Amino acid sequence: MRIERQFILGILAMTLTLVAAGNVDAGNLVVNGDFENTSVTTGQKVQFSSASVTGWTGGSNLTYIASPGTASTVYLAVYPGLPSTSPVGGNFVEADGDPTYSSTISQSISGLTVGQKYDVTFWQAAGQQVNFTGPTTEEWKVGLGSEYHYSHQYQLPQGATGPWQFQYLEFTATATTEALSFLAVGTPNGAPPISFLDGVSLQAVPEPSSLALVAFGIIGLGLARSRRQAKSAAV
């Protein structure tokens, strides 16, 4: 019975973890969220607006698609410290957060349900451009339609980089089609602060009733298994 109880508690813990994380895959609505479908080749760092990034527009200023290993090399290089790739792997976005040079990248997202909550998740990192001095801050201003939220803000000493971090923001759709946008925001002017982005996803947040059904279903399967095991042991 102790084993059965541990099994049930394990199932319940796993279910609650899924519920807390909203980890019921309703389908990523973002096209090319990993920025792999571009004209960029190995060793290149190309201005976003010129890189033929499928699904995305914008990035006409100092915003780039960077191939693996180019964060600390090629133009807009940051001080050493970042891994050659993001946790997602492959290409990533690199953007100057100085307001004078920053520019928005965006994607039109269709198939939204008005009033439905959506999770926007992504990976971010930060750094200071080489040969510049002074502390910096970096973050992303993320929008869905007219609703905006900010990612975690890095506060870096001179010459530092900020490690890749997983970010989670929640939005509510107000139309069936809305623009998902990202703008690098940093301080101070001329430092300059550089932000990185990869692995963008937008998924519907499961309704509480749906999550409850999933939880009870898994628990029910666990109980049924325990009963079968008990009967087998009694024979």
Give the tens place of pLDDT for each residue, 23-65. Answer: 434 499 999 999 999 999 999 999 999 999 999 999 999 999 9
Domain-located, residue 116? yes
Domain CATH code at residue 179 = 2.60.120.260
Confidence band (pLDDT; 50, 70, 90) for 211?
very low
Domain-located, residue 97? yes
Residue 218 clears pLDDT 80, i.e. is over it: no
How far is the C-alpha of 117 from the C-alpha of 172, rounded, in Å?
4
pLDDT of residue 216: 46
pLDDT of residue 24: 39
How does pLDDT run across 148-193, given as a tens digit for each residue?
999 999 999 999 999 999 999 999 999 999 999 999 999 999 999 9
Domain-located, residue 8? no
Domain-located, residue 227? no
pLDDT of residue 22: 41
Confidence band (pLDDT; 50, 70, 90) for 15?
very low
Confidence band (pLDDT; 50, 70, 90) for 207?
confident
Domain-located, residue 182? yes
How far is the C-alpha of 159 from the C-alpha of 99, rounded, in Å?
20
How far is the C-alpha of 60 from the C-alpha of 34, rounded, in Å?
19
Residue 221 clears pLDDT 80, i.e. is over it: no
Residue 232 structure tokens: 């087998």
How far is the C-alpha of 99 from the C-alpha of 6, rounded, in Å?
55
Domain-located, residue 12? no
Q: What number of other Cβ atoms are within 10 A of residue 65's Cβ?
A: 27
pLDDT of residue 195: 98
Domain-located, residue 173? yes
pTM over 0.85: no
Range of the structural domain that residue 186 is part of: 24-205
Confidence band (pLDDT; 50, 70, 90) for 136?
very high
Q: How far is CA 141 from CA 42, 72, 108, 150, 197, in A?
A: 29, 24, 17, 5, 12
How far is the C-alpha of 66 from the C-alpha of 46, rounded, in Å?
7
Number of domains in the chain: 1
* Under 8 Å between Cβ of 91 and 75: no
Domain-located, residue 5? no
Q: Which of 163, 167, 125, 172 is nearest to 150 (CA)?
A: 167
Cα angle at 116 between 104 and 177, to 5 degrees?
Answer: 45
How far is the C-alpha of 107 from the C-alpha of 112, rounded, in Å?
13
How far is the C-alpha of 194 from the C-alpha of 129, rounded, in Å?
7
DSSP percent split of the chain into helix, strand, coil, nearest 5: 20, 35, 45
The alpha carbon of 59 is separated from its chain's Cα centroid by a whole number of angstroms, namely: 18
Q: Which of 68, 100, 40, 109 is nearest to 196 (CA)?
A: 68
Higher pLDDT, 31 or 224: 31
Q: What percentage of the chain carries pLDDT values higher than 90?
A: 76
Mean confidence (pLDDT) of the chain: 86
